């Protein structure tokens, strides 16, 4: 069914990208954007830059690039700023992370060296394996005011018309459940009293959301996923999304598990192990930070397989996730999955996956898409939790009374249908019956496109197709 398009403000002027945490992923993102701007690299892995979106019926052959369909900021309009525990410029950070080739980094060295992180808001109780003196002083309330002042200075200096904040900082230890997170009033009191229950990532989220700036969370920290900040987002109209970028092993998990469930194949055990040697790996070597990550990684499988509905198939499987810090590998992570499954008459079978990936190479395009889609959400007047961006996350943030959607295919579908809705296009349900309805319900353009010149289909207006069943 045809929808009316939402009114979306144009993506005019510069978009300021604010990154708390400027390590491997952030420097790979910035270097990649600068390389792409110069035509020296392609943004592979980014839906906003490379994917098309089908519109209308299959015979209409309308499939523009997403970036030509929805009004997104262009790469040339992005300007970067952020905070880190280390004062390294993005050139130094990119060299240390050694994700991209030296020649690629050299080609954008001027742009990278111009981006230098501001002092960080930092509570060492939530991050044990890193030490820093490049930090803000005072109470957590004062940190929030300083972060806002950093943002204002950046806005003036760069002339950015709009802003988006994306947490790409380390994985913090989860805070204890606390009344401080329960309401905005309690949270603001907690900031002023320097509550130990407020980790730094929540202070950045608070600062952004209170300024109406969209906030995304690339790590499994709670950050904006507490009632206090949800209340603030509703008040200021800021879109928020999270948590934890879905890159390597969980991407594989949320691809394979829907297949097992769709085919009603039983799961007996899933053993996952990873080695990685970057700074993220060093942080995750601490049991507190690992626990946050483990929780995020375990939940996807449980939610997709749904043991309550299928106790015979998924009620008793053993699931283990390990991450080992192994410095020689740097960012070139290796993941192994051994999956014990069972089929007809309970006969056992195995699947083995050995994924030799590159952490930040998989994460950077997700970060880019999130920045562009969060900015789109803001201009479209969407506020609060943006569940349609679940596609990008291991632990998708959603309304507290809903179960998050983990199946990567449903997430992808949800994302594209949301874009169709925003632009007043038909939402696709892929049922397909009306193509074959012999009683005359075949959509009128079908014969023309299939058997005629085809011009009739091509000449249809962008928003045509109203009232037809969607396939
Ligand atoms: N790379 C991936 O595939 C991937 C996937 C999912 C999630 N993540 C998450 O994304 C985050 C970034 O990953 P990375 O590989 O770039 O890690 P990294 O260690 O290279 O960079 C993180 C940076 O955050 C900084 N930082 C920590 N606390 C901070 C604070 N309070 N304020 C400002 N800066 C702070 C650290 O100094 C560090 O430079 C991690 O939390 C990681 O778990 C990464």
Helix (H) or strand (E) segment spanning residue 30: helix 24-37
Sort residue 112 into left (φ over 0), alpha (ψ -120 to 50) or beta: alpha
Question: How remote is the CA of residue 445 from the centroid of ligand 1, in Å?
Answer: 51
Which has more pLDDT, 148 or 299? 148
Question: How remote is the CA of residue 305 from the centroid of ligand 1, in Å?
Answer: 30
pLDDT at residue 71 greater than cutoff 60: yes
**pLDDT band at residue 457 under the 50/70/90 scheme:** very low
pLDDT at residue 166 greater than cutoff 50: yes
CB burial readout 19-33, b (16+ within 10 A) else e: bbbbbbbbbbbbbbb
Instruction: Specify the residue for token string 């998990």.
Output: 253
Which has more pLDDT, 332 or 268? 268
Question: How remote is the CA of residue 113 from the centroid of ligand 1, in Å?
Answer: 19
Out of 18, 25, 246, mutate this one to test ligand 1's pocket (max ligand atoms within 8 Å of CB): namely: 25
Question: How remote is the CA of residue 170 from the centroid of ligand 1, in Å?
Answer: 3
Phi, psi of 151 (to 5 degrees): -65, -45
Question: How remote is the CA of residue 247 from the centroid of ligand 1, in Å?
Answer: 14
What is 249-356's CATH number? 3.30.360.10
Indicate the range of 43-47, 92-96, 444-448 predicted with least confidence. 444-448
Residue of 332, 336, 342 whose CA lies nearest to 312: 342
pLDDT at 2: 63
**pLDDT band at residue 98 under the 50/70/90 scheme:** very high
pLDDT at residue 462 greater than cutoff 80: no
Q: How do the domains of the chain map onto residue ranges?
A: 15-245+361-422, 249-356
**pLDDT band at residue 283 under the 50/70/90 scheme:** confident
Residue of 71, 55, 68, 78 whose CA lies nearest to 8: 71
pLDDT at residue 453 greater than cutoff 60: no
Length of the chain: 471
Q: Report residue 244 CA to chain centroid gap.
A: 7
**pLDDT band at residue 64 under the 50/70/90 scheme:** very high
pLDDT tens readout for residues 285-324: 778 777 777 776 778 898 899 899 999 999 999 999 988 9
Question: How remote is the CA of residue 400 from the centroid of ligand 1, in Å?
Answer: 26
Taking a C-beta distance cutoff of 8 angstroms, is the pair 257, 343 a contact? Answer: no
Average pLDDT, the chain: 90
Q: Which two tokens stand for residue 58?
A: 């299959």
pLDDT at 450: 40
> Which of ligand 1's atoms lies nearest the C-alpha of 27?
16
Using CA atoms, how far apart are residues 320 and 260, in angstroms rounded to an integer? 18
Question: How remote is the CA of residue 133 from the centroid of ligand 1, in Å?
Answer: 17
pLDDT at residue 410 greater than cutoff 90: yes
Using CA atoms, how far apart are residues 99 and 115, in angstroms rounded to an integer? 18
Using CA atoms, how far apart are residues 247 and 249, in angstroms rounded to an integer? 7
Helix (H) or strand (E) segment spanning residue 47: helix 47-50
pLDDT at 438: 67
**Which percentage of the chain shows pLDDT scores above 70?**
92
> Which of 216-230, 296-310, 441-455 has the highest mean predicted lDDT (pLDDT)?
216-230
Superfamily for the 15-245+361-422 domain:
NAD(P)-binding Rossmann-like Domain (3.40.50.720)
Helix (H, G, I), strand (E, B) or coil at 172: coil
Taking a C-beta distance cutoff of 8 angstroms, is the pair 224, 167 a contact? Answer: no
CA separation, residue 59 to residues 21, 400, 431 (Å): 46, 41, 15
Out of 18, 20, 22, 23, mutate this one to test ligand 1's pocket (max ligand atoms within 8 Å of CB): namely: 23
Instruction: Specify the residue for token string 């519109």.
Output: 55
Question: How remote is the CA of residue 432 from the centroid of ligand 1, in Å?
Answer: 44
Which has more pLDDT, 247 or 131? 247
Out of 86, 127, 169, 282, mutate this one to test ligand 1's pocket (max ligand atoms within 8 Å of CB): namely: 169
**pLDDT band at residue 207 under the 50/70/90 scheme:** very high
Domains 15-245+361-422 and 249-356 alike in fold: no
pLDDT at 356: 93
Taking a C-beta distance cutoff of 8 angstroms, is the pair 119, 157 a contact? Answer: no
pLDDT at 177: 87
Q: Which two tokens stand for residue 380?
A: 């479209």
Q: Which residues face 339 on adjacent strands?
A: 270, 351
Q: Going by CA atoms, what residue is nearest to atom 38 of ligand 1?
A: 23
pLDDT at 469: 36
CA separation, residue 197 to residues 101, 181, 231 (Å): 41, 8, 18
The radius of gyration of the chain's CA atoms, rounded to the nearest angstrom, is 23
Taking a C-beta distance cutoff of 8 angstroms, is the pair 80, 115 a contact? Answer: yes
**Pocket residues for ligand 1 (CB within 6 Å)?**
20-26, 83-86, 97, 120-122, 127, 130, 168-171, 200, 218-219, 244-245, 247, 278-280, 283, 359-360, 362-363
**pLDDT band at residue 279 under the 50/70/90 scheme:** confident
């Amino acid at each position: 069914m045809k929808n009316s398009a939402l009114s979306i403000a144009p993506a005019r002027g510069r978009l300021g990208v604010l990154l708390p945490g400027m390590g491997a992923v952030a420097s790979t993102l910035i270097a990649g954007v600068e390389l792409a701007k110069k035509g020296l690299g392609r943004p592979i892995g980014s839906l906003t830059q490379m994917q098309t979106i089908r519109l209308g019926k299959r015979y209409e052959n309308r499939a523009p690039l997403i970036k030509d369909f929805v009004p997104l900021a262009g790469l040339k309009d992005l300007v970067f700023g952020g905070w880190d525990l280390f004062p390294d410029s993005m050139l130094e950070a990119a060299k240390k992370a050694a994700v991209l080739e030296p020649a690629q980094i050299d080609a954008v060295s001027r742009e990278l060296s111009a981006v230098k992180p501001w002092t960080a808001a930092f509570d060492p109780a939530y991050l044990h394996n890193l030490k820093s003196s490049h930090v803000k002083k005072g109470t957590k309330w004062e940190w929030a005011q300083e972060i806002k002042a950093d943002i204002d200075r950046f806005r003036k200096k760069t002339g950015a018309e709009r802003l988006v904040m994306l947490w790409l900082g380390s994985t913090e230890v989860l805070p204890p459940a606390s009344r401080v997170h329960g309401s905005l009033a309690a949270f603001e009191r907690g900031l002023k009293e320097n509550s130990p229950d407020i980790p730094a990532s929540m202070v950045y989220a608070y600062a952004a959301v209170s300024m109406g700036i969209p906030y995304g969370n690339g790590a499994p920290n709670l950050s904006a996923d507490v009632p206090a900040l949800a209340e603030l987002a509703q008040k200021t109209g800021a879109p928020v999304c999270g948590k934890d970028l879905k890159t390597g092993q969980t991407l594989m998990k949320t691809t394979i598990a829907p297949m097992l469930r769709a085919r009603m194949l039983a799961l007996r055990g899933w053993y996952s192990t990873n080695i990685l040697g970057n700074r993220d790996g060093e942080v995750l070597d601490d049991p507190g930070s690992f626990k946050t990550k483990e929780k995020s990684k375990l939940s996807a499988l449980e939610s997709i397989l749904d043991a309550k509905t299928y106790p015979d198939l998924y009620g008793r499987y053993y699931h283990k996730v390990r991450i080992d810090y192994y410095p020689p590998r740097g960012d070139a992570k290796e993941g192994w999955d051994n999956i014990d499954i069972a089929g007809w008459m309970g006969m056992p079978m195995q699947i083995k996956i050995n994924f030799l990936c590159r952490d930040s190479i998989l994460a950077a395009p997700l970060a880019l898409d999130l920045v562009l889609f969060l900015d789109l959400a803001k201009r479209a007047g969407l506020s609060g939790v943006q569940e349609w961006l679940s596609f990008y996350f291991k632990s998708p943030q959603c309304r507290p009374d809903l179960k998050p959607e983990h199946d990567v295919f449903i997430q992808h579908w949800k994302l594209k249908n949301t874009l169709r809705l925003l632009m007043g296009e038909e939402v696709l349900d892929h049922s397909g019956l009306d193509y074959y309805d012999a009683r005359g319900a075949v959509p009128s353009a079908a014969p023309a496109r299939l058997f005629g010149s085809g011009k009739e289909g091509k000449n249809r207006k962008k928003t045509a197709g109203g009232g037809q069943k969607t396939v």
